[in-house]
Structure 1
Amino acid sequence: MKKLVLLVTMLFVVYYARANQPEIMFQPESSVPELGKPYKAKINKSFIKSLRVKVFPHTLKNDWVHGKADDASTVTLLGKNITFNEHSTNKITFTTENGKLFAKSGGVKKLINKAFIKSDFPVRVQRKINPDKSHSYNGVLEVLLQDNKILVINHINIEEYLKGVVPKESVDTWPLEALKAQAVAARSYAYYHLLTSTGKLYDVDDTARYQVYAGQSAQSETTNQAISDTRGEVLTHDDSVIVAFFHAYSGGRTDSALNIFGNSVDYCLPKDEIFSREDLKRELSPRSQWIVEWTTDPLTHSELLKKLKSNSKLSKKLKLFSPKRKFTLSEVEFNQDFDSVKTLKLSQESKVTSINFIDVRRAIGWSEFPSYHFRLNPIKNGKFTFSGSGWGHHVGLSQWGAFMMAKNYGRTHAEILKHYYSNVSLEKF
């Protein structure tokens, strides 16, 4: 029991230390559109409205911004002069009972269908679980019931929305041109989802499923300036807003959307970084240099196979493989462009199967497996390790690349964006 407690404590310390390094306290990669969705959206200025952001509940695992999954049966809104049903209040608590939504304020409890909450001041969405990770929001908050769970949706102007995104997707002490590049990428990403979410209750949520958003609570002067200086700017390809994919650092060369996502995206092609890995290491503190080159913690045969089998795509392929028996793992297909493995072979007695490099990272988890460019190391002391380079999915804008290009090469945000995205234009909404 003491060993278990010690192990858990050590894991927490390692995670906390990594998550709280100022150089890396941002989301390392953008998410990918749902299967079947296009990778760009035709501009329709008459369609543009406020963005609808789901800010409650949170269900994403390993969500360092929002913490543990929420109790979606209750939520409290706190603020100054909150307008609700034509009355002004400072506190409203919403609860669910027998599939119905109730609002309580000033000792009065009412049955409602939904509510639109307005205030001239930020309104705090107070969470029952992880209250210290509650955030405050401008705009309008819509509260409704879906599948017996309370939803809170923030209706917010995109420029205001970005003020809660850019500080969480970059570092506010970075050069202004790097922050401007991030602002344009984030704005393009938001407009794409707004234009393609017809028929849904919300356009995006506030987690890494889309872009991390922490409302008014996250704002900083420098990121606000970057947003203001690029107001309305989006990236387009063939008169369509692109999905401006971004990641923390490529490892030296960005990858194509085809190789990583399995879909050809003609504005996301491989691009070499204009600086070396050693150049970037010199900008990082020693404990943050894993961003450039990393090695996973050792895994036993049993631990690795259990992680691989936890992946829904691999579980069927590995159904007959036993964690109680040893196996061999080897590289069989290699990507010379990135010094990275593409396909691995797993053998156990008479059973043999292949595993795609994408599925390895997805199974082990991004918090333990920083990127998709990696190699399998020789087995040591009966345990497996992998070594790789970069942080994130390698597609589109390299955030640390933007930092380096702005700081050490004097590049503008437009030059940075056109380096990482092929055949794109900057247009204003």
Structure 2
Amino acid sequence: MKCIFKTLLAISFIFAWVTFEHEAKAQGIEPTISVKLVNYLGDKSFITIQPSKTYKIEGSNVELESGKTYSVKVESTGVGIYEEDQRIASADSFKVTPSTYSATLSINGRKYLGDMRFINEGNKYIRPINTLPLEDYLKGVVPKEAYADWHMDALKAQALAARTYALTYINSNAIDDTQYKQVYGGYDWNERTSQAVDETFGETVKYNGALAQTVFSSSNGGYIESSLNYWGSTQLPYLESKPDPYDPQREWTKVVNKQQINLVDKDLKDPNAWWNSINEVDSIMANNIKQKMNANGFSGKDIKIVSVEDVKFYAPTTGQRATRGDLVVKYIVKDELDSNGNIKVSTWNLIGEKASSVKSLINGTSMLNLYVKSITSDSNSIVIKGAGYGHGVGLSQYGASVMASQGNSYTTILEFYYPGTTISQHYTDAYPRIEVQPPSAPTII
């Protein structure tokens, strides 16, 4: 019997490659956004990628096959893509495009929708740039910026703040996935946060018809900071300082050890006997201070910090954040002796410095902002206490959660944190998400 092959679909199937442009082609259509991937990836000269479906390398006939693992490497001033040890493409940069919208590209284990461009950053690192429709970008943002079990209105408020913020970066290519912009986790979605995005599709916060600067932080400590105070820019009427009765006032504490080196048991007439064998208790803080001293008249001197005598933060803004600070330390310099032949202990005073600089010098990573509420001191330590986490301008994420749990709608939450603004529908139609089905296998009769 002779076999007859009946083809139900065309034997040769051409993929309708999906590409994502920066701007919508028609008014009222959801735009796309391009995001530099920095936060989870870090700085790498070598990364691995794995497509869930076929991807095409733009400008070439090379395709990345579903389920295979490839590597992307820095090469001279460009980028190379490898399958195992064989280079399959090389160029200044690469853009890979999925064959169907729902395809994902895994980068070092984290999945992303949309196009992906790989560039050579400073001849050191591979920097992926992910381009995708804005609403799907937001579905990767909201679960990273808010807890999914928060009240739905808190999640909706976060969705509008994030959407409005992102829209100001649509054409700038300056947004990344870090907390300095807004955290984006790729295709790591949550059902509740995606619901918040879907139910507020296209909604934004505007002031006098223009997109508002909807900045936000984790907690303002009970007092909202103004845009003028924090950034030194023009004061925006909806980003002024005021008390926040809803923020749970997240508290923080920074402890500075006073004694850094104990000189009691040291031969002060012969510092060479012990100089290289002792170090400060807080080496990071001590090195910060010494670098500052070296830049201010102590260049080339071998210094050790003996003690921190005083730390002050003062001159608060209308938003209660300190603007100035003092730091007083005792130090020794190798081979500098006093009139008795002992190593000389001197005092270095830093008075009226920027508060942020003093915070950095004392390695104030546990100081979550400059809303300092108290400073106490005893013989062993200086204890600095404050409240809030982040810059404190605009929406407090924890405050929004409290407001929502008390029955306030997302519109009321946004009115409180951005007073005088309105909610507006920025676009009404979704960007086309094209799904392409592979051909059916031929039927054999």
Output the TM-score relative to the length of structure 1. Answer: 0.71
The answer for unaligned runs of 5 or more in structure 2 is 1-25, 261-280, 330-346, 427-445
The CA distance in 2 between the partners of 1:314 and 1:422, in whole Å, is 42
Instruction: State percent identity of aligned pairs.
Output: 24
| Amino acid in structure 2 at the alignment position of 1:246 | F
In structure 2, the residue matched to 1:421 is 418
Worse-matched range after superposition: 304-313 or 291-300 = 304-313
Deviation (angstroms), 1:250: 1.4
- Of structures 1 and 2, the one with the larger relative CO (CA 8 A, separation 6+) is 2
1:60-82: CA deviation from partner (whole Å, max 9, x where unpaired):
xxx6xx27x34223432332333
Distance in structure 1 (CA, Å) of the matches to 2:386 and 2:310: 17
TM-aligned CA distance change 1:412 to 1:247, over 3 Å: same
Deviations 1:263-311 (A, max 9, x none): 2331211232234x7xx4xxxxxxxxxx622212443465679538749
Equivalent residue pairs, number: 351
Indicate the residue corresponding to 1:407 in structure 2.
405
Shift of 1:164: 0.4
TM-aligned CA deviation for residue 382 of structure 1: 2.8
Q: Deviation per CA, 1:339-384, whole angstroms, max 9, x where unpaired?
A: 6644222345374422233334455567411222014522223322
Question: 1:88-134 CA deviation, whole Å, 9 max, x = no partner?
Answer: 5023322233334222348753333223231434434333xxxxxx3
Indicate yes or no: 2:49 matched with 1:76.
yes
Residue number in structure 1 paired with 2:389 = 391
Mapped to 1, the partners of 2:328 and 2:85 lie a distance apart of 66
The answer to whether the aligner puts 1:109 opposite 2:87 as a matched pair is yes
Q: Which residue of 1 aligns with 2:131?
A: 155
In structure 2, how many angstroms separate the alpha carbons of the residues matched to 1:361 and 1:172? Answer: 33
Residue identity opposite 2:327 in structure 1: L
Q: Choose which of 140, 145, 151 in structure 1 pairs with 2:115.
A: 140
For 1:237, the aligned partner's letter is Y
Q: In structure 2, give the amino acid aligned to 1:139.
A: G
**Counterpart Cα distance in 1 of 2:320 and 2:350:** 25
For residue 233 of structure 1, what is the amino acid of its counterpart?
E
Can you list the C-alpha shifts for 1:119-161, whole angstroms capped at 9, x where unaligned? Answer: 434434333xxxxxx3101111122334323221111111000
Distance (whole Å) between structure 2 residues aligned to residue 155 and residue 77 of structure 1 = 17
Aligned equivalents of 1:191, 1:254: Cα separation in 2: 24
Aligned mate of 2:104, from 119, 123, 128 = 123
Q: Aligned residue for 1:54?
A: 36
Query: Matched residue of 2:386: which SS?
Result: strand
- 1:237-281 residue CA offsets vs partner (Å, 9 max, x unmatched): 233223211111111121112222222331211232234x7xx4x
Higher helix share: 1
The TM-score with structure 2 as length reference comes to: 0.69
The equivalent of 1:354 in structure 2 is: 352
Instruction: Choose which of 165, 174, 177 in structure 2 pairs with 1:206.
Output: 177
2:258, 2:309 within 8 Å by CA — same for their partners in 1? no
Pick from 226, 247, 250 the counterpart of residue 217 of structure 2. Answer: 247
Aligned ranges 1:326-341 → 2 under 5 Å: 326-329=307-310, 331=312, 333-335=314-316, 341=322
The equivalent residue for 1:378 is 376
Q: Structure 1's 146 and 334: CA in aligned 2 closer, same or farther, altered over 3 A?
A: closer
Deviations 1:195-246 (A, max 9, x none): 4x1xxxx3311122311111112x1111011111111112222332232111
Structure 2 counterparts to residues 256-335 of structure 1, below 5 A: 256-266=226-236, 267-275=238-246, 280=248, 292-300=250-258, 302=260, 307=285, 310=288, 320=298, 323-329=304-310, 331=312, 333-335=314-316
Separation of aligned partners in 1, 2:200 and 2:250: 30
For structure 1, which runs of at least 5 residues remain unmatched after alignment? Answer: 1-43, 128-133, 281-290
Say if 1:45 and 1:379 are closer, same or farther in 2 by CA, change over 3 A.
farther
> Which protein has the larger Cα radius of gyration, Structure 1 or Structure 2?
2
Task: Identify, as 1 or 2, the structure richer in strand.
Answer: 2
